[in-house]
Structure 1
């Protein structure tokens, strides 16, 4: 793994010389996020840590893409770090609960191990990894891509029903890159604008370390435009962690707004049929000369609990949460958001998530200011 660290370091600091070539595109970013949290008196964080928690996160990423005829090679490395009293408290919770609560990705279930812990102690951890490593072949009607990459399905804005592969958390602020997975992707484009996609995601079992069918995923996704209705229709069939999933999504233009909806029916290992859905509507406005974007969304978690006692949550639910596929234990949620462009380089975001079953909620407010062409400053607060 030391060779992997050296390779990523070489990629970060030396690959810029290659950008002079016309068929190579080089990009990247550096992100630093300090934060402070005040914990409630009866919270688990207060039990394991202090009433005030500090954390520092950084994200360094370098992307290199090279094209040659129908072939495209993509390699993207990242160096992620997390430290502070928030991290040490999280480590204590992990030991107490017997679960890995780390916010840093690993490759324990991936086909290839392209990650290594560069540093790991009580107050700080860092990981160096390849988040993308793929080769794509493209023709007029076909796309074949193999390697570490990201794929997304569905129409969710805050919550995601059809996106089974490393979806974003409903509280995620940084959505530039999904965590990549080792997979085979193929797409065929029909002349009428429809297309069909196939995905195979082999995974290793955490118990044996071997590639096993019951922890892997297979998916077929069909998408077609609906010109007469001004919308689109999609259908998804997957076998995911040995469970069959059947889903469908629809988008329609309603006046100046766009409505979306996804439905997923899952047949669990216990022969239980679970129904989940997400539906939302969004619209852009101009008010007093300012661009405004608004949305509202309803999400039903078919595996979620409709009461406050989460101690008896089913294994299917806790398994999805531990894999990063679900982020809530409850059943019914409402989400709403507003983005206001006060000035061309300054935007404010207001997001609210409400748990309809127990009355709890989560508010998120942030300011995003483009200071320079390549520098953005974000300041925000989360209020549970």
Structure 2
């Protein structure tokens, strides 16, 4: 059982200066030991100069209170652009499922609550160039702003003949990423393509290609192929792959090499929406399936119901030297969740 409480303060200080703060507390209660979750909170915060303790108090074997200062920034509107100082959300890429250029703490597709992306500590400047172009440049600070834990980025976006183009440069942890992307429409369908090449202590390529199309005025279907260079073709290589810089600092969380994703969204009526998606690891024939429905019960109240289903080899082999899983998704249990969201 998880019970999150998110406290948000958004205050206009002057005509050009705005302050934003989000602090979330999550009470976790389980019928079994949550030792693995407790150990995960001991990891150093990624792309944060410093941070609050991940837990509030000592908790117990089966309960824990998490805290996360997710936003804490000042936004300054300048004559030529916008300057944001402090903890903020930074996302790159145009892909719908997995973006190769998205380095700064992207959501794992299995994450249940994706309403608010995890914030990073950064200085960011965004400016429009003409009516159809924008430049985005900044510095992201890791632990104590050391070079091995921090990053710098530059992204340029423009529109030409109805198509959106973007170029992304990111320097992080002795790695240099160059990403390019395009998206637009082909008749009644939309498309996107994105590729990112990374060089440094580890060289790899990631790419996504996808299309979407409307079945009618109320439903949308999306399909995407993703190539994950840092991943492994064989489940025996999954453990070694996770020890690389791509997983530690590069925003990579998929273990395999080739993926096919599909999703559908439908607005049943103004108050009820349903969605479903599938992510298939083509390297080991495992898959993650999810279905969800959201109902707007009142002006500020939402009820969500969803189901996670995992397919694949569930065998885990342990030796004195290593642990090998039979597939990426087969080891996870099926789960059903109910969520109540209330905004006040």
TM-score, length basis structure 2: 0.83
What is the aligned partner in structure 2 of residue 81 from structure 1? 27
In structure 2, what is the Cα distance between the partners aligned to 1:376 and 1:324? 34
- What SS is found at the alignment partner of 2:148? helix
In structure 2, what is the Cα distance between the partners aligned to 1:86 and 1:306? 34
The one-character-per-residue Cα deviations of 1:168-213 (angstroms, maximum 9, x if unpaired) are: 1112343221111111001121124211111201211xxxxx4311
- Residue of 212, 220, 243 corresponding to 2:146: 212
Within 5 Å, give how 1:275-286 maps onto structure 2: 275-286=205-216
Q: Does 1:62 align with 2:7?
A: yes
What is the aligned partner in structure 1 of residue 17 from structure 2? 71
Within 5 Å, give how 1:369-380 maps onto structure 2: 369-380=295-306
Q: 1:356 offset after TM fit, Å?
A: 0.8
- Residue of 135, 142, 155 corresponding to 2:74: 135
Change in CA separation of 1:116 and 1:382 when aligned onto 2, cut-off 3 Å: closer
What is the aligned partner in structure 1 of residue 288 from structure 2? 362
What is the aligned partner in structure 2 of residue 304 from structure 1? 231
Change in CA separation of 1:291 and 1:109 when aligned onto 2, cut-off 3 Å: closer
| Preserved CA contact (<8 Å) 2:18 2:75 | yes
- What SS is found at the alignment partner of 1:223? strand
Change in CA separation of 1:201 and 1:87 when aligned onto 2, cut-off 3 Å: farther
| Preserved CA contact (<8 Å) 2:164 2:184 | yes
In structure 1, what is the Cα distance between the partners aligned to 2:47 and 2:223? 35
In structure 2, what is the Cα distance between the partners aligned to 1:232 and 1:375? 36
| Preserved CA contact (<8 Å) 2:290 2:306 | yes
- What SS is found at the alignment partner of 1:118? coil
Higher relative contact order (CA 8 A, sep 6+): 2
Q: 1:311 offset after TM fit, Å?
A: 5.2
In structure 2, what is the Cα distance between the partners aligned to 1:198 and 1:105? 28
Change in CA separation of 1:315 and 1:76 when aligned onto 2, cut-off 3 Å: closer
Aligned length: 308
What is the aligned partner in structure 2 of residue 114 from structure 1? 52
Q: Does 1:179 align with 2:118?
A: yes
Q: Does 1:248 align with 2:174?
A: no
Q: 1:161 offset after TM fit, Å?
A: 1.1
Structure 1: runs of 5+ lacking an equivalent: 1-55, 95-99, 205-209
Q: Which has the higher helix share?
A: 1
| Preserved CA contact (<8 Å) 1:167 1:324 | no
- What SS is found at the alignment partner of 2:55? strand
What is the aligned partner in structure 1 of residue 333 from structure 2? none
Q: 1:106 offset after TM fit, Å?
A: 6.9
Q: Does 1:334 align with 2:260?
A: yes
| Preserved CA contact (<8 Å) 1:268 1:316 | no
Q: 1:140 offset after TM fit, Å?
A: 4.4
Question: What do you get for the CA RMSD once the two structures are aligned?
Answer: 2.3
- What SS is found at the alignment partner of 1:161? coil
Q: Does 1:149 align with 2:82?
A: no
Higher mean C-alpha deviation, range 157-166 or range 108-117 = 108-117
- Residue of 128, 135, 139 corresponding to 1:196: 135
| Preserved CA contact (<8 Å) 2:88 2:121 | yes
| Preserved CA contact (<8 Å) 1:158 1:169 | no
| Preserved CA contact (<8 Å) 2:230 2:246 | no
Change in CA separation of 1:179 and 1:137 when aligned onto 2, cut-off 3 Å: same
Q: 1:306 offset after TM fit, Å?
A: 1.0
In structure 1, what is the Cα distance between the partners aligned to 2:130 and 2:254? 41
The one-character-per-residue Cα deviations of 1:85-108 (angstroms, maximum 9, x if unpaired) are: 4652635xx8xxxxx445x99747
What is the aligned partner in structure 2 of residue 15 from structure 1? none
